[in-house]
A and B are shown apart, each in its own frame.
Chain A
Amino acid sequence: MTAPMLLQAAATAAPATRIGEPNVVAMGFFFVFIAITMGITWWAARRTKTTDHFYAAGRTISARQNGLALAGDYMSAASFLGIAGLVSTTGFDGLIYSTGWLVGWPVVLFLIAEPLRNLGRYTFADVVAARLSQTPVRLAAAVGTLATVILYLIAQMVGAGGLIRLMFGLPYETAVAIVGAAMLAYVLFGGMLATTWVQIVKAVLLMFGAFMLAVMVLAQFGMNPLRLFAAAAEKYGAGVLAPGKLVSNPLDAISLGMALMFGTAGLPHILMRFYTVPDARAARTSVFYATGLIGFFYLMTFILGFGAMVLVGPDAIKAVDKGGNMAAPLLAEYLGGTPVLGFIAAVAFATILAVVAGLTLSGAAALSHDLWVNVVRRGEANATEQLRVARGATVVLAVVAIVLGIAFKGQNVAFMVGLAFAIAASGNFPALVLSIFWRRCTTAGAVSAMLLGTAGTLLLIWLSPTVQIDLLKHTQAWFPLKNPALVTIPLSFAVGVVVSLATGGSRSLEAVDRFANAERRMHLGGAAGTG
């Protein structure tokens, strides 16, 4: 064999991508991000003295800042890497998820944001309990909150471990521990103020990264998205521009859509952000900004997905990661080499950190504010104790997140995000809407809506094809739909209404006096006074 042939053989055997090898640029960007966010945490820690600071950043966040932070809290690695990956391997079908994840935001604006800000202090249970009995409502709301938060956390941690292993070449367990430790530092010391700014920095980085890649992709197609899509259709058939196999059962599509649309309005870590702004008006404006940012972001992921399809190719993407999650990083490497890959890898890491910090804080609020302060101590805990318990709960949740992240290593957890949305949509959202807008909603009605919504979702997911066939390898499933929201959202509303009508009279105290009072506070906010 001659020397040139040997060289050629070595060149073809060498991997086409440097993904999975330790990347100096990625490490550099990552350390800069950690340094900046730890600086923010140090600054925030000196301002975090009361529970108002710890849970709600002292209500000092402006509408614009909160809009960015909401986007940073919401745009998870699943939506950045996942949707770009889905589009790059299936084309059009990725749009089903990106539109679904966006249309929840107008619902949050119309129905939830302002009443929530005016009626509550730290958690969504504050709102449901505003005119109902504290103990049962808070117990039931904590079940829904913790179920949502823990499932979402597992999905994020397992995703984080896998992604970081792929992008930085770190062992899975180390990656999970690093994410857990950084997130714990933000939340434990800097509370909501640090979490908010981590989310703002992340949102700016992510929008910038996605925008830069989108422009680099479009530059290859004369800045015309249609030429990009036409190139994809030419290479992989016109089918990539039309609905494909992702939705085969119509009812499945509608059920998934319901979970995505109404789930956003029941996600505890999103709802909690509305307490960080000074008033209901700022809460309203912040959703307006968030909807704009998130919609723009999903338009860009569509460009990135098709860019990866045409420039990298679905087979090369699936060869690195079967789920297609590496489409955006591979595209970055194709367009800008190792430096851009390193930047996008660091952005993905920052994305995960910002989301898990928000989740942990909302879980800690359910444990400490709802369960400890209002149920165990019946609202009698003093300020020092409240803050101490909040920090203790943060440590507990961080440990739980790390342990579960490691325990679920290698499991297919993609369905857990869908499950978290389904619980939020069927356990939390109906009770919120009924208690805010419906005079005759009673404690028993709200509690049964929350408990049956959550339990029904868990049960039907267990009986669904996702668990019975995909996970347990049984031949058939008891329940036909992959996502139960089509059944559980109406069920939760119906149970709430029927139980309320059965247990309350239209002249009960909850229905008349307390509702009038809550309604005044809901609209007038601080100006309503205490009477």
Chain B
Amino acid sequence: MPDPAPDLSALARARWRVAITLTIAMTAVYFGFIALIAYDKPLLGTLLAPGLTLGMLLGVVVILASWLLTWIYMHWANRHYDVHVDRLGKENEERGTRSQA
């Protein structure tokens, strides 16, 4: 995180950047796979080992990529995002009590 103590709109921007980057990564992986199915079927039929074609391997890679990307997001959100959310929430409550007093 570039800014150690971002305000809410900076945190919102950071979350949006992470969310959109990961969404684009997932989209690229999946549509890369679909585009190969659509435009280069013979390539995906290449036999890598008896019983395993490149297409099947890439299909499994798409599933593994989904797992990896959700894990990356979880990791980021638990380590960085939540810390700032907790801090901002506390500040918000303190402001609320002060303004009531």
Contacts and interface: CB of A to CB of B under 8 A. Distances in A.
Given A228-B51, A437-B16, A250 B96 contact: no
Interface residues of B, number: 54
A504 interface: no
B33 A99 contact: yes
B81 to A, nearest CB: 8
B9 A229 contact: no
A27 interface: no
Contact of A528 (B52, B70, B92): B92
B52 A106 contact: no
Interface of A: 92, 95-96, 98-100, 102-103, 105-107, 109-111, 225-233, 238-239, 241-243, 247, 250-251, 253-254, 257, 261, 281, 284-285, 287-288, 291-292, 295, 298-299, 437, 519-520, 522-525, 527-529, 531
Interface string B55-75: 110011011001101110110
Contacts of A92: 44, 53, 55-56, 59
Contacts of A298: 63
B93 A527 contact: yes
Nearest to B24: A110
Q: Is the interface of A mostly helix, strand, loop or mixed?
A: helix
Contact of A229 (B8, B51, B90): B51
Interface string B71-94: 101100100001001001110110
A288 B45 contact: no
Nearest to A280: B85
A241 B53 contact: yes
A110 B22 contact: yes
Residue among A92, A100, A254 having the largest count of chain B Cβ atoms under 10 Å: A92
Residue among A99, A247, A525 having the largest count of chain B Cβ atoms under 10 Å: A99
A260 B97 CA distance: 47
A251 B37 CA distance: 11
B60 to A, nearest CB: 7
Given A102-B63, A288-B74, A523-B8, A229 B52 contact: yes
B30 A100 contact: yes
B5 interface: no
B50 interface: yes
Contact of B82 (A99, A239, A281, A295): A281
Given A92-B56, A111-B19, 5 more contacts: A92-B44, A102-B66, A226-B52, A291-B67, A529-B93
Contacts of A251: 38
Contacts of B9: 519
Contact of B66 (A232, A242, A291, A524): A291
A254 B31 contact: yes
A103 B73 contact: no
B46 to A, nearest CB: 8
B1 interface: no
Contact of B38 (A100, A233, A253, A523): A253
Contacts of B44: 92, 242-243
Contact of A110 (B23, B31, B59, B63): B23
Interface in B1-60: 8-9, 11-12, 15-16, 18-20, 22-23, 26-27, 29-31, 33-35, 37-39, 41-42, 44-45, 47, 49-53, 55-56, 59-60
Contacts of A525: 85, 89
Given A230-B51, A299-B60, A106 B88 contact: no
Contacts of B50: 226, 230, 233
Nearest to A520: B8
Contacts of B60: 299
Which 5 residue pairs are nearest across A and B when measured between Cβ atoms?
Answer: A527-B89, A242-B45, A230-B51, A250-B38, A229-B51
A226 B49 contact: yes
B70 A287 contact: yes
Contacts of B96: 529, 531
A433 to B, nearest CB: 10
Nearest to A290: B70
Contacts of B52: 226, 229, 241
Contacts of B11: 523
Contacts of B8: 519-520, 523-524
15 contacts: A99-B63, A103-B30, A109-B73, A228-B51, A230-B51, A241-B55, A241-B56, A242-B42, A242-B53, A243-B55, A257-B30, A284-B73, A284-B74, A519-B8, A523-B8
A225 B85 CA distance: 45
A105 B29 CA distance: 14
B73 A523 contact: no
B51 A233 contact: yes
A519 B89 CA distance: 13
